[in-house]
Structure 1
């Protein structure tokens, strides 16, 4: 391998703040914050969503029944179509 062309790969602690869980994995991310876990000091990166908190991975998905735009229009203006037309 060529020297001095590869990114600095090191072990980092990612903290999912939504469920308060930590992932200690390798990454090239740079941060000035550190945290001590199990007697070891790691660079610290807080994250909002991970596989521990995302609804797709936790099985707590919310499915919403959304009507199409045409169905929504017809429901909204249904009363206008029931007006009787006068004969001329």
Structure 2
């Protein structure tokens, strides 16, 4: 491998601001804040608005906004008079 082209990875703590969920992963982010964890380690801190703990897609609370039916149903309604079937 070439020297000097790879980022300097280290452990970083990510915190979800909406519910306080924390996880530690390796990253090359540069942060100004640090956090002291329960195990005594002091890690760089990255604050996030949304994580997999609060995003509607991952929590199962996502709702479909399609109120008029699907695309196929709209197409069939629009061109029903041309098919000759009733």
Q: Please confirm whether the aligned pair reaches a TM-score higher than 0.5, indicating the same fold.
A: yes
Structure 1 runs (4+) deviating above 6 angstroms are none
Aligned to 1:86: none
* Residue-by-residue CA offset, 1:41-67 (whole Å, 9 max, x unaligned): 000000011111100000111222334
- Distance in 1 between the 2:67 and 2:43 partners? 45
* Structural RMSD (CA): 1.7
- Distance in 2 between the 1:15 and 1:64 partners? 30
- Give ranges in structure 1 of 5+ residues lacking alignment: 72-88
Count of paired positions: 69
TM-score (norm 1): 0.70
- Give ranges in structure 2 of 5+ residues lacking alignment: 75-86
State the structure with more CA Rg: 1
TM-score (norm 2): 0.72
